[in-house]
Structure 1
Amino acid sequence: MNDLIKQLQELDQRIGYLIHIKDSDKWGNLVEFRSKAEQLLNSVFDISRDEFASRLGKLEDSVRFLEERCEEGLTSMERVRIVRSPLRFTLKDILENVYEEHKELGGAGEANIDPAMVVAKANIVRRIKRKPYTSPVMVIGQEVGRGEEFRNGGSCKPWGNEKAMRYMKVAETEGIPIHFYVFTPGSYPVEDYPGAAQQIARNLYTMTKLRVPMISVISEGGSGGAEAIGLSDLRLMFSHGYYSVISPEGAAAIEGRVKEGRKASPELIEKCARQLNITAADNLRLGTIDRIIQEPPLGAKSDDFAFFGRIRSDIIRATDEVVLRTKSMRSFRSYEVKRKKAESPDEAPQIDIPWDLDEGETDKLLDLRSKKYREMSLHSFGGITMPAENLVKFFCSATEKFWYTVRYDVLKTQQKQVQKTIKELSGEGTALVNRLTAPFTKIFNREESNESRPVPRSLVTADPQSAGDYCLIQDPLELTDTYTSPLANEDRTITCPNAEKYGCKDLWIPDLYGEFCGVCENCGHHFPLEYQWYLKNVFDPGSIKIFNNDIFSKNPLNYEGFDERLQAARAKTGMGCANLTFHARVKDIELVVTMLFSDFRNGTVGSAEGEKFVRACDIARRKKRPLLAYVHTTGGIRIQEGTLGVAQMPKCTMAVREYIDAGGLYIVVYDNNSYAGPVASFLGCSPYQFAIRSSRIGFAGPRVIRETTGIDIPPDYHDARNALKRGHIQGITDRRDFRRHLYQVMQTMGSPGLYYR
């Protein structure tokens, strides 16, 4: 009888699991089935074993039928609930059942740098020619835990992501593959050093060029938290997992304009989950993942041991594939790996594929990784040119690359070498002449010192006419003053936000937005100005030449109502997306600028913005010019593009890394409000980040922080001054000195490979 009671208890758990998935006990008579299960358990001593088994069998058949119906019609939000179930497997289950042995690094359990991030050195056994071979790997992933508060539900703090980055570099040093497992609803939004956004950016920057094979597997992928360990050579996803730019509840709160403290309706949450395209099938179709690992019906649980065997075979096969792509001789082995996958998906290939790479293979690995992310989401924006036009553009860019390489890498290098040799010879010759003439010079100087010398005329006297002419010369680094903000047209006064604290007087708007450049003359508070002010005042007049303006944002997910919003943004700005890219000049230095501006969808980043940024990096790299990312405003990744928007984080970071590695000078300047994904990737990875005074920089807004952490942050939490104290930026500049500051940065920072050095 004990076995039947245990079977009944498992059945009751399955009924509870269905109630959890459906978020209701009214679907499919679940409430009645749970009541029957309870009655049967209470009558265990009142009926015979045969009758108990008969009633249990009928109840089990009914529940099995409901499970099949549920699996067939799973919605996006129901998959989210499957992932969030306490019965689901975790990273610890994978470590114990997929790998032969493992050792946690950075502490174990609660005594850990950040228990939400687990790093382990593990061994995995591969069978090659029927013989077992043990291969070491580095396993890095979030641990949700089973109700332990210290795990924080897999939401990593900045120092947890820093720990992951540290051991990525250890794996690179040891030359072993890295297996990433993503189990996170998102990163923990705190700005304490090393900073939520800035650390994710550092992780991405590091992963772009790690010289070892990397495989990532996604169960729950929440935006930036997932990207912190998500960039890899092959991205797998569990069939019942989800990968999203934002949680469905978060999207519903934004779409429904839900006030703080209230919840969106279940119908709106379901709708947003569907529109975000968060399932494994959706992401495979969009190209943001490479393959799906099939789970049992209604998702795998911690006791599905056969499923762990499938994970083992898939992770071995994925590592083999990544390594094989780097080999010059691989045709037969590649065919065998594919054949084995088709015939026996749960069995790993038994082929000799060494996972250690030589230098040439590593270079190819990095090239393939770069190409993978460069080609991601190319179908999700407008302005794609015809093949003939692409051919012309390719020819022009190739010609440009050849010309600038010859001009600056070859001729300029030779010229520098000749100049260096001449300086060396001159220095040696001067030292030799000084040594030979030293006795005579000493005698001459002694005699000269005894003679009286006439007092020279004062150097401060000058021709008044010349002095007058000199005074008329304008400082070339002053603001060009060729544009006045339309905000100056109002004839009224405005009160400075710091009036109570610093006693600032009311400001007359024509003066504030005209002569004062939007800056309070008493306390220095910076009022927001439109992006056109910077275009007209910072850069040399007539030097701005816009490029790639034909690229425009689309609605790749067919998100309801988003076409109309895009149309309104185009009509308002005359632009196709929120990123304006152009050539410009500051005094005598030419540079490439990419500008995220607030007028178009609050400066959010989608596929079009990411593509324009990558192309700006390519042009700056080719022409050996500085690259300025001026962030007028960015609200983060555009949620209406789902993971196609999230993909811009690794894609743009890859472009930045390649530009910097080529000797480029990448400067980021934040203004107004700069938050979320862009700061946590291609902006936050710059070694030279500055902010305009009174700007705000961070990972998440105050409301998100309060709802996620329960912490009520102070009003100045995201101020540029605090970002500077935390080490997230390198300096703060006054808007009136921006042109001068930018010129000084370009003169003093960057490598000798820049064209003007």
Structure 2
Amino acid sequence: MDTEKKLQHLQERLTYIKDIFANKQEEGVRLLESRLNETKERYNGLSPEQKKESLDTLEEFFVFMERKFETELTPMDKVRIVRHPQRITLRDILENVYDNYTEIGSLEDHSIDPAVLIARAYVTRKQGKKTINQAVMVIGHEKGHGEEFRNGGSAKPWGNAKALQYMKVAETENIPIHTYVFTPGAFPIEDTPGAAQQIARNLYEMSNLKTPVIAVFSEGGSGGAEAIALSDRRLMFSHGYYSVISPEGGAAIEGRLKAGERASSELIEKCAMNLNITANDNLRLGYIDSILEEPDLGARTYHYEFFRSLRREVLRATDEVYLSNRGLGLFRGMILRRRRKHIREAEDLDVCLVRWNLSTAAKERLVMKRHRKFLKMSRNATIDSRPVDRKLKSFFHELSWDIGSMFKYDIMRKQQKRISYALEEIEAEARVITEKVSSPWRKLLQSVNLKNTKQKEDEARMLTELSDWTMEEQQRGGQWSYVSPKSTEDKAVSCPNSHVYGCLDSWAPDLYGEFAGVCSYCGHHFPMEYQWYMNNVFDAGSIFEFNSELEAGNPLKFPGLDEKLAEAKKRTGLKSSCITFEARINDIKLVVALFVGTFRGGSVGAAEGEKFIRAAERARKKRMPFLAYVHGTAGIRIQEGVNGVIQMPRCTMAVRRYIDAGGLYLVVYDTHSYAGPVASFLGCSPYQFGIRSANIGFAGHGVITETTGLQIPPHYHNVFKAMDRGHIQGIWDRREARFNLQQALLTMGGKNLYYR
């Protein structure tokens, strides 16, 4: 590097340091700036040798000060590091980590989504005297170095759809996938297919991808990160962050800020600390597998040694996944473990120890291990107050269901199906012969009309009807088992649509009693308590709650959360926002996970995720349909940090296991349903329905306006918009929820068959 370039380089480093520390480290920054200005002032009067010596001395001083600053970095400083335009990008990684690559579907801003970059890459390695080109699909967020058209790495729905498309291509081609997470979060728009719906699709498909996935985190913001981060190995840059929400977003919620207000820098710093977002925090909590050490103050484009280190760790992680699933590889595994402890020479790093391909059996092991890995996460973040004997009893109950289900369905039912299939084939052949022989006699009988007309009608009815229930019986004629306490108020209630439809005021006892909170003029649905659904949708006396002892806690010791949880528990009488129970609808048995909107907004944390997973497992083992009834959910509980956001892939995997086993999974939304749960384990259901009072989406109005600057229409998230974009498959009147739910169970599952 010539002296002029070196001087410019040092100036850029100073600018970078100023940006990272903002108004902090003022004394050190002033010292660096004064030394740089002194060098500039006398630069032109120096000989070439003196210029070089002066710049070398100055650079050594920069290195010394950067090392000092490194030891004093706060979590928020690291957030500013990963957001800085000088930060390495995915294109820098493609250029310096992989030996050859071709970008797919991208030419700067001419792309379906410039925030998502796909590349088919190769890694060249040696196997003895042979050269091996190992293919890999590279997928990640591209922020660029200040390129605004890339939207800061915030993927839109079609960008995540593109990522999923090429994940499936990699699975077909039997090559590994390397994903790089450089995003503050997904772009919160609901244009078809919708941000939440597409992230849910990505998670659902990634959970069972039959090819290794290695994820590398730099900036991992909430659901936007999860869309490409469900992987077999998770690595993280030492200056990166992985969080349920940005520190600024967390500060806005904690500070209860109104539209247009900004959180103070002190509150933002405090939230960044309390959310446990750094690489060391996530390694301690078990959400990443290893940390990639960066140079002081973060990796930039000129840190070539870091790219070499990144290549080594990513290839090692890929080799480990292949070896751990191929069966043989004891000695090669030992070598990989030794390499983790001892940095080798460059040529040693590129020795090919394992070919990147898997057999059919190895692919099944890969998926099984991926599920086990995620389902174990965050279990210790849940409070389980059951005594030891209750836990043992529960364990043996589940074991008995496993054994019984295996015997009944995996052994007996398979043989029954084979015998039944053979008998059906024989019967069909016999029927053809019988029909041929008896045809003349039937014609003769028909001509004299010997067949009973009523019998014909009964046969036709049996073929076209599922059962003999009636609409009137299901609606209960306004005689509800549970009536809202609001019906005791002696007052008139105005419908918000009165200015449009001319609705007259309703008397509260009628509105919240007989009318079930539905305006009799326009059909507007007023909010109702979750007890209304539990008592009026399911058969009286059929509800059996389980796992009620699992309790929402404060795993990160977030300030103030204990008091807020205690208040919610006292006010609602619940221990978490999720109630899991078995119930019946006209004697049809099912397992239900109900999310209660009045408990901390129905937010999901470690306890709620664990309860949902156990409910899905119970439904799978007992061969029952599984219903998620969303009275309301505001998203992931931010105060639990990654303990909350990890529930997105965990619960989605539980749903995938249940559906793959043959289960029928239904979701019904009411009131407000937003963010992480909708973008994962709720949104991945093939059968989703909304009560007319529901609003469904990825982010609320305020968040969308604040993050994008877009002004969205008032009914942007209502059920009719969700129906338009294909998120839900039907819209129900609250009074017909029981009737429609039974109809759905019968038509989508069959009267007695809920497992394929």
Question: How far apart, CA to CA, are the structure 2 residues paired with 1:454 and 1:557?
Answer: 75
Shift of the 285–236 alpha-carbon distance from structure 1 to 2, 3 Å rule, reads same
Report deviation, 1:39. Answer: 5.0
Which stretch of the first structure deviates more once superposed, 342-351 or 149-158?
Answer: 342-351
Residue in 1 that maps onto 2:205: 206
Residue in 1 that maps onto 2:596: 597
Residue in 2 that maps onto 1:300: 299
Aligned 8 A contact 1:219 1:237 in 2: yes
Name the aligned partner's letter for residue 519 of structure 2.
C
Aligned 8 A contact 1:664 1:751 in 2: no
Aligned 8 A contact 1:480 1:536 in 2: no
1:499-554 deviations in whole A, cap 9, x for unaligned?
Answer: 01011000111111100000001110000001011111110011000000111111
Aligned 8 A contact 1:492 1:508 in 2: yes
Which stretch of the first structure deviates more once superposed, 264-273 or 303-312?
Answer: 303-312
Q: What does 1:130-529 align with in structure 2 at a 5 Å threshold?
A: 131-344=130-343, 348=349, 350-383=351-384, 390-412=391-413, 414=415, 425=426, 427-442=428-443, 446=447, 448=448, 475=473, 478=476, 481-529=480-528
1:134-187 deviations in whole A, cap 9, x for unaligned?
Answer: 100000000001222221111111000000000000000000000001011110
Report deviation, 1:407. Answer: 3.2
Shift of the 137–26 alpha-carbon distance from structure 1 to 2, 3 Å rule, reads closer
Name the aligned partner's letter for residue 202 of structure 2.
N
SS in 2 for 1:629: strand
Q: What does 1:357-756 align with in structure 2 at a 5 Å threshold?
A: 357-383=358-384, 390-412=391-413, 414=415, 425=426, 427-442=428-443, 446=447, 448=448, 475=473, 478=476, 481-750=480-749, 754=753
Name the aligned partner's letter for residue 704 of structure 1.
V
Question: How far apart, CA to CA, are the structure 2 residues paired with 1:339 and 1:387?
Answer: 41
SS in 1 for 2:624: coil
Question: How far apart, CA to CA, are the structure 1 residues paired with 2:452 and 2:129?
Answer: 100
Aligned 8 A contact 2:691 2:733 in 1: yes
Q: What does 1:89-104 align with in structure 2 at a 5 Å threshold?
A: 89-104=88-103
Question: How far apart, CA to CA, are the structure 2 residues paired with 1:328 and 1:33?
Answer: 56
Report deviation, 1:33. Answer: 3.5
Shift of the 311–499 alpha-carbon distance from structure 1 to 2, 3 Å rule, reads same
Aligned 8 A contact 1:663 1:751 in 2: no
Report deviation, 1:735. Answer: 0.4
Report deviation, 1:43. Answer: 4.0
Report deviation, 1:342. Answer: 0.8
Name the aligned partner's letter for residue 251 of structure 1.
G
Shift of the 43–668 alpha-carbon distance from structure 1 to 2, 3 Å rule, reads same
Aligned 8 A contact 1:480 1:537 in 2: no
Shift of the 437–393 alpha-carbon distance from structure 1 to 2, 3 Å rule, reads closer
Question: How far apart, CA to CA, are the structure 2 residues paired with 1:489 and 1:477?
Answer: 22
Which stretch of the first structure deviates more once superposed, 560-569 or 497-506?
Answer: 560-569
Name the aligned partner's letter for residue 368 of structure 1.
K
Shift of the 201–31 alpha-carbon distance from structure 1 to 2, 3 Å rule, reads same
Name the aligned partner's letter for residue 229 of structure 1.
I
Say how many residue pairs are matched: 741
Shift of the 609–388 alpha-carbon distance from structure 1 to 2, 3 Å rule, reads same
Which stretch of the first structure deviates more once superposed, 417-426 or 666-675?
Answer: 417-426
Report deviation, 1:440. Answer: 4.7
Shift of the 130–274 alpha-carbon distance from structure 1 to 2, 3 Å rule, reads farther
SS in 1 for 2:299: coil
Name the aligned partner's letter for residue 715 of structure 2.
D
Question: How far apart, CA to CA, are the structure 2 residues paired with 1:747 and 1:108?
Answer: 50
Report the aligned-residue RMSD.
2.7
Q: Does 1:11 align with 2:6?
A: no
Aligned 8 A contact 1:245 1:646 in 2: yes
Question: How far apart, CA to CA, are the structure 1 residues paired with 2:730 and 2:672?
Answer: 16
1:258-281 deviations in whole A, cap 9, x for unaligned?
Answer: 222121100000000011111100
Name the aligned partner's letter for residue 517 of structure 1.
A
Report deviation, 1:353. Answer: 1.1
1:343-394 deviations in whole A, cap 9, x for unaligned?
Answer: 1167537352121000111111111101000100111110066776555433
SS in 2 for 1:325: helix
Q: TM-score, normalised by structure 2?
A: 0.93
SS in 1 for 2:591: strand
Residue in 2 that maps onto 1:76: 75
SS in 2 for 1:598: coil
Residue in 2 that maps onto 1:115: 114
Residue in 2 that maps onto 1:464: none
Question: How far apart, CA to CA, are the structure 2 residues paired with 1:363 and 1:133?
Answer: 26
Report deviation, 1:425. Answer: 4.9
Question: How far apart, CA to CA, are the structure 1 residues paired with 2:751 and 2:357?
Answer: 35
Shift of the 437–591 alpha-carbon distance from structure 1 to 2, 3 Å rule, reads closer
Question: How far apart, CA to CA, are the structure 2 residues paired with 1:471 and 1:701?
Answer: 40
SS in 1 for 2:513: coil
Report deviation, 1:746. Answer: 0.6
Shift of the 239–363 alpha-carbon distance from structure 1 to 2, 3 Å rule, reads same
Aligned 8 A contact 1:176 1:355 in 2: yes
Shift of the 426–455 alpha-carbon distance from structure 1 to 2, 3 Å rule, reads closer
Q: Give me the identity figure in percent.
A: 51
1:565-619 deviations in whole A, cap 9, x for unaligned?
Answer: 1111111122211110000000021000001101211100110000000000100
Report deviation, 1:26. Answer: 5.9
Residue in 2 that maps onto 1:467: none
Report deviation, 1:436. Answer: 2.7
Report deviation, 1:327. Answer: 2.5
1:229-286 deviations in whole A, cap 9, x for unaligned?
Answer: 0000000001111111111111111111122212110000000001111110000001
Report deviation, 1:661. Answer: 0.4
SS in 2 for 1:219: strand
Which stretch of the first structure deviates more once superposed, 237-246 or 473-482?
Answer: 473-482
Residue in 1 that maps onto 2:127: 128
Question: How far apart, CA to CA, are the structure 1 residues paired with 2:109 and 2:445?
Answer: 81
* Uncovered stretches (5+) of structure 2, i.e. residues with no partner: 458-467
Name the aligned partner's letter for residue 367 of structure 1.
M
Aligned 8 A contact 2:582 2:589 in 1: yes
Question: How far apart, CA to CA, are the structure 1 residues paired with 2:250 and 2:627?
Answer: 32
Name the aligned partner's letter for residue 338 of structure 1.
R
Residue in 2 that maps onto 1:465: none
Q: What does 1:57-76 align with in structure 2 at a 5 Å threshold?
A: 59-76=58-75
Question: How far apart, CA to CA, are the structure 1 residues paired with 2:743 and 2:452?
Answer: 42
Shift of the 732–200 alpha-carbon distance from structure 1 to 2, 3 Å rule, reads same
Question: How far apart, CA to CA, are the structure 1 residues paired with 2:685 and 2:471?
Answer: 36
1:426-465 deviations in whole A, cap 9, x for unaligned?
Answer: 554454344334345545655x38x9x9999xx9xxxxxx
Question: How far apart, CA to CA, are the structure 2 residues paired with 1:289 and 1:648?
Answer: 15
Report deviation, 1:700. Answer: 0.6
Shift of the 665–54 alpha-carbon distance from structure 1 to 2, 3 Å rule, reads same
Name the aligned partner's letter for residue 172 of structure 2.
T
Name the aligned partner's letter for residue 398 of structure 2.
S
Shift of the 546–434 alpha-carbon distance from structure 1 to 2, 3 Å rule, reads same
Question: How far apart, CA to CA, are the structure 2 residues paired with 1:314 and 1:275?
Answer: 29
